[in-house]
Structures are given as structure tokens and as C-alpha cells.
Structure 1
Amino acid sequence: MKPSSRPSTSSPSCPAALPFPLTALRMRLTCVPETPVHLEGLKAGTLLRGALLSVMLRTTCPLTGVPYERRKEVDPEHVATCPVCWLIQANEQPGNERRGYLITPPLPPADTYLPGQPFSFHITLLGKATTYIPYFIISSHEMGRTGVGKGRGRFTLHHIHAELSPPGTTSRPEEWEMRAPDDLTVRMPPTYLTHQHILSAAEALLPRMRRPRLTLHFLTPLRLVHENHLVKTPEFLPFFTRLLERVDMLASRHADAPPRPPGERTRLHDLAARVRLHHHTTRWEDVKTWSSRTRRHTWISGLVGSATYTAPPEVWEALLPWLLWGTVVQVGKDAVKGNGVFLVSLS
């Protein structure tokens, strides 16, 4: 597979002077199973991520047998340039991921995909993580060859598209074909998803709001902790607080963004406090996965379903761009594994 020349993380349409410099490359990978692929519904993101990193470890990292916490001692120069070490060690606080990549599993979730039944999943790379685009594409191809999930189901990576609009904001999303079927050449998009794309999507959505209501559809488990307790009712303020923290931390770590001014953070927090939960149909889904690295089960349970909120129009006008960023980067614990996927719809 021959990746073409790749753009820098500051593309012409996203100069460094923008007030919010985070960029995202959201790749949709369409796959065709050769044997039954068992992704086990809500466990799909974890299984895909585990298989992807396993391929990367096996094919690109000579320190595979060295514990992650000791790799800097063994070979600091290697750790500074190895994509796998960078991706894993970008998270220094387990369970509080700020890695520069994330997986969005196939939606709606399905347990099994039969031979010839296509499915798609997304890999999103943020800011500096776009440096490692070729590794992700090559490893995804190899993952299909070696298999994923129970029984190691194999698939062919059919094609790859870059999506240039926030998920769910338009019936015909802007996209760029990065890899066509039966073509080994990867064509990089002319731009990544930028804050300007987010603002444009928000401006297009707001006129469609007939009533001051907004609905969030939680498609994979939303796992939030607020005041040291798991959140089991989708109140808006804890959700938005975690969302803004995640977006800001990702921008700081992967796009060298300066801290959000305290006054701006307080303004957004006060606006979010004005949002009221109108009604919801969420439920708590218990999900646990097995880690071959730690040799133990991990709970990735959370809320799924829909919640409708009410607020004055000026509140939604200010908060909607950050909600749309949340649809790109996902929210809550285990987002890197596919948790916290949600979409926005206007009532």
C-alpha cells in the first residue's frame, strides 16, 4: 500500500491563527467479510481497537515484549518516534483517555457480519496524530487479513473515505475518497475537519430549530463520572462539562492550543446550567470486555438511548458548536474504544 504525500496538521483551510486549532481526520473504512466477523454488538469498538493495536505492535514496534512503563528507560529515542508507543503512552492516566485517535464502531451495533455483508467503522486522528495515518491504514488492511473478534473473522478493506462534516449534520455529508476498491494508492484529502467546518455546520442547523429543543442520541455507552459517581441520568450539565474538558484537553495535547480563558469557560458553564432535561429514554447497558494485556475484565458500561433538552435559542447558539465537536471526538470514559458516540438532532 502506497500512501501519497501527506499534508501537515495545519492545512491551508485551517491556519494556525484560528482560535480553536484542533483538526480531525475522520476516516470511514468499509469492509467486506470473507468469514463470519463476530464483533459482539457494543463490544465492537474494543475488539477493533485491540486488534488494530495488536497488528501495530507486531509489525512496527521492536519493544513489543517490554512493559509500556519501562520503554522510555530501555530506549527513549525509539519511544519518541514509534507510533505504537506514542499512541499507548499518550494516556498517562488510565481510564481518562486523551489519546490522539479513537474508534467509532459499526452502527447500529450488530453481533455478527456474514461473508459478503459489508460493515463500516471509523478511525479518527486528531491534530498531531495525523502524522501516523499510513500506520493506521496499513494496520487496518493487515487486521482484516489476520482477523478480529471471536474466531478471528477475516475481512477485506474495500475502500476508505474521509468525512469532512460532523456526523449526522447533513443527509449528504461532504467526503473524500482516500482509497478506492482494488487500488493500493491512498489519496489524502485537501483538508481535515476544522473548527470552521464545525461552525458552518452549526450555522446551517440552527435555522431548522422550530422549538427550543435539542435531542442527543447516545449510540454507544456513555460512561460519565461526576462528583466521584457514575452518571446514570443524562443531565445536561455533567455531560457538557465532561465534553468541554475532553475537547480542550485534546486541543491542548494534540494541537498545542492555549488554555481556554477562564471567563469563556465560565460563560459556557453558566449557559449549560440553563439547559433542562425535558424527557429521556436512556437505559444503562452493562458491558464488560477482556484485556489480553492486563489479563482481566474491564467494565465499559454506560447510558444508551435518547434525551431531549430545552433551553433558550441563544443558549443553543453558543453550545451547538461544542456539541458538534463532541460528535467527532466522542465523550466520556473509554471514548478511544468506541464509547460515547452520540448524534445531535433538533426538535
Structure 2
Amino acid sequence: MADFPLTFTRLRFECLAEDALRFGEYRAGSNLRGALVNIMRRAACPYSVPALAGSAPYAPDPAHTATCPVCWLVAANESPGVERRGYVLTPPLNAPSFLPAGERFAFHLTLVGEAQRFLPYFVLAVPEMGRVGVGAGRGRFTLRRIVAERLNGAEEIILDEGETVLRPNFSMQSHCDVLARAAGLLPEGDPQQILELRMRFLTPMRLVWNERLVKTPDFAILFARLLERVDELAQQFAGAPRRAHEERIHFSQLALQVRLIEQDTRWVEVSSGSSRTGTQTWISGWVGSARFAAPRWVWRELLPWLVWGEAVQVGKDTVKGNGVLRLSF
């Protein structure tokens, strides 16, 4: 499927802690996403302002929803549980729960397909996030630099330290970049050679199968959820047609040939709170690593979609930082 139409842009936001930051370990993504959404609601969408007591809530019209980044990306959800968000957040990885003032940290935002047109709104929201503060105690930070990362390791500076104007000459990434990354990862050799792929799960991986949480790294289930996610993102944000049934069956059968040979994972209980609704939701999942074995020819077909999983994350709550994985042979 070399003509897979989805594209994406991955930005790294390099920041400096002005106060002590309490990220909360695996809640870091949820805390950052909450701060981001609150800023965007307040700054970009009049329908996000709470209605007066006793009055009916505001209902945005379709024309507003189509052009408003908050409604289109954050608030509006025409099909709850089905509709995908056009962005993912990758929290600071391996950062301590408590970050002293004066320390640097970085997080990432990835926008896909049509969602990339709203990139300036995200960029403008981050400095205000830092001014208002994030996490317990509302620790403040300043944005120092924005860098566009590419799958081949190249970087393009979008906003350097001391600058106030974005450089617009960066390019989005496509399936061709994904294929090149996959080809670079896969060792050369006999097609029948058994190769071991290591997956590192850096933030909670939360998968559901048959309405139940999956608490071990089952490759067939993980790959099925990954392919489902990538396909739905492509349909919703790039106008892609539905993948042919025969192709889905083909990939399902390939995934069943992959064997789990080693795992070092643990389940972490994580909750995410909403200041707007006052509710808590669970975003728990497994973290750690696992090794999977399969013939080289199987990996050759599956690897491009696994690389897409690196790019857009996998499972539930990716907008809150869940589902970050890394691949290596």
C-alpha cells in the first residue's frame, strides 16, 4: 500500500522549568494535555466558555466546528468512542516526577493529515501553557525552541531561542518516509531467517479486546489495534478509502506468525482528572519491553505499520501521552 495517503508533522517543544514541576510520572501526558486544552478552549473557541447558570449550553454550528481547532480537534466528537483525534502528545520520557526549577525538558506533539492546518494554534498555546502552569502546584515553564523531527533522524528548527517568528519551511512526512525508516530498521539476510524485534513501551499501553483490558503484550492484538487506528486516522484526516477486507485478513494472519519470546512488563495504575467535569478516568496500561520473533519476510510486511505505530502511538488515550513505543532489532 505504497500510496497510503496519511501524512504527519512531529514537533519537539524544548522548555525550561521556571518553577519546580510535578509531572506525576505517567500522568505527565495527561497534565500537559489538560493544560493545552484549557488554553485552547479559552483563547480560540467562544463555545467553550461555560454558559451562565440556568441557561442552555452553547451548541456550535457545523460551519464553526469545521474551522475551529478546539471543536474540530479537541471538543467536538460526533461519534464517541469511534472518532479519532488528529493529534497525539508524547510526554517527557524518563523525566522524574519532580523536576527542579532551572531544568530543561521536552515534549512532543504530532499532528496528522488535515489536522496539520491547525498547527499554529498548538504552537501559540504552548507559551501560554507555561505562563499559566501545569501539574500539581501549577509549575510554570518557558518555551525555548521548537524543532520538527523526521524519521530519518534529521531535524528542522521551527523556532530558535530568542526568535519570535516561526520558520515555515519545514515539510510534513509521508508513507514514503515510513517505508524508508522500516527498510533501515530491518537487517539484511535470508527471508526465512528468524529475527527478534524488541518493543519498548515507554508510556502505558492500554488495549481493549472483546471489551476487556489486555494486560500482556499479545502481538496479534497489539497489531490489530495499531492497524485499526492508523486506518481510521487515514480515513478521517486524509480521505483514505477503507482497507480491503482481504488485506486486513492477510495482515491478521501474518501477525499470528509472530511469537512472544520474552517480556519484562508491568501494569501501572494511572488516573486522569478533569478540572472541567471534576471526574477521574483510568488510563492505566503496561510499560516495559518485550521481544517478538518471526521470519524476516513477515517483518518486512508488518514493519511499515509498526513504524506508523511509533509515529502516532497505539491504544487508548494517546492524546494523554499513552501508547509510546520504540522498535529495534
Shorter-normalised TM range: over 0.9
Aligned residue number for residue 51 of structure 1: 35
What is the rounded CA distance, in whole Å, between the counterparts of 1:49 and 1:318 in structure 2? Answer: 34
2:219 and 2:260 in contact (8 A); partners too: yes
1:97 and 1:333 in contact (8 A); partners too: no
Measure how far apart 1:290 and its partner are.
1.1
Q: How does 1:180-191 map to 2 (within 5 A)?
A: 180-191=160-171
Pick from 61, 81, 85 the counterpart of residue 99 of structure 1.
Answer: 85
Deviation per residue, 1:186-242 (Å, 9 max, x gap): 113442121111101111111268851101100000000011110011110000000
What is the rounded CA distance, in whole Å, between the counterparts of 1:312 and 1:74 in structure 2? Answer: 52
What is the rounded CA distance, in whole Å, between the counterparts of 1:74 and 1:193 in structure 2? Answer: 32
Pick from 234, 252, 257 the counterpart of residue 269 of structure 1.
Answer: 252
Query: Do the aligned partners of residues 315 and 74 (structure 1) sit closer, same or farther apart at CA in structure 2, a change above 3 Å counting?
Result: closer
Q: TM-score, normalised by structure 2?
A: 0.93
Q: How does 1:288-299 map to 2 (within 5 A)?
A: 288-299=271-282
What is the rounded CA distance, in whole Å, between the counterparts of 2:155 and 2:222 in structure 1? Answer: 29
2:10 and 2:150 in contact (8 A); partners too: yes
Query: Do the aligned partners of residues 212 and 143 (structure 1) sit closer, same or farther apart at CA in structure 2, a change above 3 Å counting?
Result: same
Query: Do the aligned partners of residues 326 and 312 (structure 1) sit closer, same or farther apart at CA in structure 2, a change above 3 Å counting?
Result: same
- Letter of the 1:188 partner, please give it: P
Pick from 9, 18, 24 the counterpart of residue 40 of structure 1.
Answer: 24
Query: Do the aligned partners of residues 39 and 213 (structure 1) sit closer, same or farther apart at CA in structure 2, a change above 3 Å counting?
Result: same
What is the rounded CA distance, in whole Å, between the counterparts of 1:96 and 1:280 in structure 2? Answer: 31
Deviation per residue, 1:65-94 (Å, 9 max, x gap): 358x965x4544322211101112454454
2:148 and 2:170 in contact (8 A); partners too: no
Q: How does 1:1-347 map to 2 (within 5 A)?
A: 19-66=3-50, 71=58, 73-89=59-75, 91-94=77-80, 98-165=84-151, 173-207=153-187, 212-346=195-329
Measure how far apart 1:295 and its partner are.
1.4
What is the rounded CA distance, in whole Å, between the counterparts of 1:76 and 1:194 in structure 2? Answer: 29
Q: CA RMSD in A?
A: 1.9
Measure how far apart 1:61 and its partner are.
1.1
- Letter of the 1:249 partner, please give it: E
Q: TM-score, normalised by structure 1?
A: 0.88
Query: Do the aligned partners of residues 74 and 25 (structure 1) sit closer, same or farther apart at CA in structure 2, a change above 3 Å counting?
Result: closer
Query: Do the aligned partners of residues 120 and 208 (structure 1) sit closer, same or farther apart at CA in structure 2, a change above 3 Å counting?
Result: farther
Alignment length, in residue pairs? 322
Classify the secondary structure of the residue corresponding to 1:311: strand
What is the rounded CA distance, in whole Å, between the counterparts of 2:210 and 2:300 in structure 1? Answer: 28
1:39 and 1:111 in contact (8 A); partners too: yes
Identify unmatched segments of 5+ residues in structure 1.
1-16
Measure how far apart 1:293 and its partner are.
2.4
- Letter of the 1:103 partner, please give it: L
1:144 and 1:156 in contact (8 A); partners too: yes
Aligned residue number for residue 3 of structure 1: none
Query: Do the aligned partners of residues 74 and 212 (structure 1) sit closer, same or farther apart at CA in structure 2, a change above 3 Å counting?
Result: closer
What is the rounded CA distance, in whole Å, between the counterparts of 1:182 and 1:272 in structure 2? Answer: 49
What is the rounded CA distance, in whole Å, between the counterparts of 1:202 and 1:256 in structure 2? Answer: 24
- Letter of the 2:104 partner, please give it: P
Classify the secondary structure of the residue corresponding to 2:47: coil
Deviation per residue, 1:136-169 (Å, 9 max, x gap): 000001111111111111111000111111xxxx
What is the rounded CA distance, in whole Å, between the counterparts of 2:30 and 2:83 in structure 1? Answer: 14
What is the rounded CA distance, in whole Å, between the counterparts of 1:70 and 1:259 in structure 2? Answer: 36
The percentage of aligned residue pairs carrying the same residue is 48
Query: Do the aligned partners of residues 302 and 96 (structure 1) sit closer, same or farther apart at CA in structure 2, a change above 3 Å counting?
Result: farther
2:41 and 2:49 in contact (8 A); partners too: no
Query: Do the aligned partners of residues 114 and 208 (structure 1) sit closer, same or farther apart at CA in structure 2, a change above 3 Å counting?
Result: farther
1:282 and 1:307 in contact (8 A); partners too: yes
2:21 and 2:100 in contact (8 A); partners too: yes
